[in-house]
Amino acid sequence: MHELSVAQSLFSIIERSVPKDSKGTVTEVHLSVGTLSAIELDALIFSFDIIKENTIASQAKLIVNSIQGMGKCKSCGTVFLINNFGTSCPECNQFNIDILEGKELKITSICMEE
Ligand SMILES: [Zn+2]
C-alpha cells in the first residue's frame, strides 16, 4: 500500500525533527496534502495510527490540511483550479498546463507537550 510507505517517511521526518533528549511527546502532526497528490487520506491516517505505536508520536493526531490543485496555462497564462491531471484550460482548452499547487505532501508543523 502506497500510503503505508508515505506514513513511514512521515515518521522518519518526525523522529529527525524531535530532539533526542526531549522528554515531551508529540501531540499533533499537521500535514498539507494536495488534492493532486494521489494520496488516499483515510488509508494514510490508518497507516499513521498503526506506525505511531511505540514511537515518540504514539499519542499524536494527524491533522490534514487539504490543498486545492492550481494550474497555470502555458499558452494563455490563465490560472485556475484543477481537480485532476486531465483538466484543460478553461480559456483556451489547451492541455499545456503547469501544476502550481496540489502535488505537495508535507509536514507543516509538529506540536509537542512536555
Ligand atoms: Zn489557456
* Cα 26 to middle of ligand 1, angstroms: 45
Residue 78: exposure state from Cβ atoms within 10 A (0-12, 13-18, ≥19): middle
Give the cell for residue 93.
482548452
Neighbours of ion ligand 1 (CB under 5 A): 73, 75-76, 78, 89, 91-92
CATH topology of domain 2-18+27-113: hypothetical protein PF0899 fold (3.30.2320)
pLDDT for 27 equals 96
Helix/strand/coil for 4: helix
Give Dmax (Cα) for the chain: 57
Print pLDDT tens along the chain (114 aa). Answer: 689 999 999 999 999 998 878 888 999 999 999 999 989 999 999 999 999 998 989 999 999 999 999 999 999 999 999 988 889 999 999 999 999 999 999 999 999 998
Domain edges within the chain? 2-18+27-113
pLDDT for 81 equals 95
E-assigned strand segments in 1-114: 25-34, 61-67, 70-73, 79-81, 97-101, 105-113
Instruction: Tell me the pTM.
Output: 0.83
* Cα 97 to middle of ligand 1, angstroms: 8
Contact call for residues 78 and 9 (beta carbons, < 8 A): no
* Cα 32 to middle of ligand 1, angstroms: 28
* Cα 27 to middle of ligand 1, angstroms: 44
pLDDT for 1 equals 61
